Amino acid sequence: MLIFRTATNRTTLANAVRSGRLVRLDEGIYSTDTQTDPIVQIQQNVPRVLAYLRPGCVISHHSAILEDFGAADGLVIVSDPAVAQSYLHHLPGLKVLAVKGPGPVVGDSELTAGGVYAASVWRAALENLEPRRRLRALGRSIVAPPPEIEAFLARRMTTSVEAEGFLQGVNLVMRESGQWSAECARVSTLVQSRLRQMAALAPGMSPWVDHQRVRLFEDLANQLLRGQFGNEAFWGGRLLDFPSRPVPGDRRFLNLAFYESYFSNYIEGTEFAPEDARVIALEERQDKAQSKEGHDIRSLYRLYADPESFLREDHSPDEFIANLKFWHARFGEHIDKEAIHPGRFKDKANRAGGTWFADPAQVEGTLRVAWEIGQHLSEPFDRAVFRAVSTVSIHPFLDGNGRITRLAAANVLGRAGKMRLMIPTVFREDYILALRAFSNGNPVPVIRMFQQAARITTSVPFDRSFPELTQWLRERNAFLPPEEAKWRPAPEESDLRPTKKPKPSCFSGPGTYD
């Protein structure tokens, strides 16, 4: 955990360094982790470091379109209205370039409370279309190279809905900030060109399928088949067997069902202590003020804990789609969920930040193509990863998409009699960043993220009593937010390694879908 120097703790920090309880990473930056390389610690805590160095700044320009903000490349660019001229901070393994620019504007997202913001995709597009300025201190421009900008914009305009929504977003940023009028005009030209291209869609390309997403799904399937990113460790029976139904005298099934549903709800903001959530899920007691959240906890747990609901088969795209609608209807069957249209696909476009998901008219067709692509995967772990990522990328419902798609992935493993994939709160940021990377065209982080989730879940002693199991998870930091802690491996956790040579890629796509 990082600790930053203030006017009142200088002496305390110095004493802690002398006694070996802290290590000094850089001027004013200390850590309780005395073993991990300072470079790694700095790169893993970029938002908190920036909040110390440049409170109120916005991660901007080229850094704003990179999945890790440029930490892996050793450079993060921020806009800061407080600087008179560009300033370069040198840290272990990282440079932070502060350029004069506006603070947070409409759409920018806050990464740390009262500290650092990330530019919205709309602002990022406008900033990266600014005239290229080569800075002598860097030997490069602060804006992305033209091919990267083109790819970034293309990913946000895969349908007419996305293209028009993106144009609305950049216009809003321009109006609210009073800046980037010339850049906004360029975006408008690009959007109009994109709309003309989509109007002249090539013959054989169905308008009812999101072909941009299909290409992402094909790439993910190919990478899973190659088995080079950790998933090969779970081939050939290496993923542990696990009860797919409750067994008398065996706590494992219901303990996992509870914690799968608990952490899945927590990812989406339903934040209860595990003991309180268990009372709501099992004993149907809750405060009236917690009605909606209490229903979410109870309905999702009941889906995981009921084999007849949880283990539904899908031998065709029709059955798969029917299962998604069934689970969504069961999840949203209480009165507080009427607005999300339980059991029905969305009737309007939805997005997370600046990322638009599949057009409503393309949801069912794209789900069918995803099901067909998934049939090329033979290993239960690979099929579950593909099911989770492809379905959530489509976002077929108005709400509840994350919870239902994680349930769909668990269904794949449950039907195979294998250990499912639990994502503790401490691992939430890795999960979200990996999905964001996939949306940006990189499937590798989601494969690595899910194999880490499998390692974690495999290590959990689900055969213990609920209080013992909960205490074990607390000792591993499972319930802490990722900015406060990391997962603490148990002494008995094993290092799962591949037992096979990687398979060559053999998936060339499903052909044309009308």
Q: Give the Cα separation of 158 and 97 in Å (integer).
A: 33
Which two structure tokens, joined as six digits, stand for 171? 């216009």
Give the pairing of strands 58-59 and 75-79.
antiparallel
Kindly give, in sequence order, each residue whose CB lies less than 8 Å from that of residue 322, ignoring residues fewer than 6 positions away: none
Fold assignment, 211-347+359-475: Fic-like fold (1.10.3290)
Task: Please return the burial class of 287, using the count of CB atoms within 10 Å of its CB with bins 0-12, 13-18 and 19+.
Answer: exposed
Structure tokens that stand for 360 in this block: 């409503």
Write out pLDDT tens, residues 265-293.
Answer: 999 888 899 999 999 998 755 554 456 78
Tell me what pLDDT residue 198 has.
67
Amino acid at the residue 465: S
List Cα–Cα distances, 245 to 301, 306, 309, 414, 415, in angstroms.
Answer: 14, 8, 11, 9, 10
Q: Maximum Cα–Cα distance for the chain, whole Å?
A: 72
| pLDDT band at residue 195 under the 50/70/90 scheme | confident
**In terms of DSSP H, where are the helices of 108-210?**
121-128, 146-155, 160-177, 181-199
Mean pLDDT score across all residues of the chain: 87
Q: Do residues 473 and 424 lie in contact, with contact meaning Cβ atoms separated by under 8 Å?
A: yes
pLDDT of residue 126: 95
Tell me the pLDDT tens digit for each residue of 395-430. 999 999 999 999 999 999 999 999 999 999 999 999
Cα separation, 455 vs 76, in Å, equals: 31
Domain limits, the chain? 1-35, 49-200, 211-347+359-475
pLDDT at 341: 87
Contact predicate 5/11, CB 8 Å: no
Q: What are residue 494's phi and psi, to 5 degrees?
A: -95, 155
Q: How far apart are CA 387 and CA 277, in angstroms?
A: 27
Instruction: State mean pLDDT over 206-226.
Output: 88
DSSP per residue, 62-80: HHHTSTTTTTTTTEEEEE-
As beta bridge partners, residue 250 has: 247
**Taking residues 144-151, what's their average pLDDT?**
86
Between CA 195 and CA 106 the distance in angstroms is: 26
CB atoms within 10 A of CB 169: 24
The predicted-structure confidence for 303-320, as pLDDT tens digits, reads as follows 999 999 999 999 999 999
Phi/psi at 368 (5° precision): -65, -45
- Assigned token pair, 378: 């033979």
Q: Tokens 């789609």 identify what position?
A: 321
Question: What residues does 241 pair with on adjacent strands?
Answer: 418
Which residues are bridge partners to 97 per DSSP?
77, 88
Mean local confidence (pLDDT), 85-92: 91
Quick: pLDDT tens for 318-358: 999 999 999 999 998 875 666 788 999 998 888 776 677 88
Instruction: Give the HSE-up count for residue 92: Cα atoms under 13 Å, Cβ half-sphere.
Output: 17
pLDDT band for position 163 (cuts 50, 70, 90): confident
3 state SS of 23:
strand
Q: What is the model's pLDDT at position 285?
A: 58
DSSP state of 419: -
Long-range contact set of residues 510-514: C-beta below 8 Å, sequence gap at least 24? 510/214, 510/218, 510/369, 510/372, 510/373, 512/204, 512/205, 512/206, 513/206, 513/209, 513/214, 513/365, 513/368, 513/369, 513/372, 514/204, 514/206, 514/208
CA-based radius of gyration for the chain: 24
Backbone angles phi, psi at 400, to 5 degrees: 85, 10
Residue 513 has pLDDT above 60, yes or no: no
Residue whose pair of structure tokens reads 């996305």 in the numeric block: 162
pLDDT at position 228, please? 87
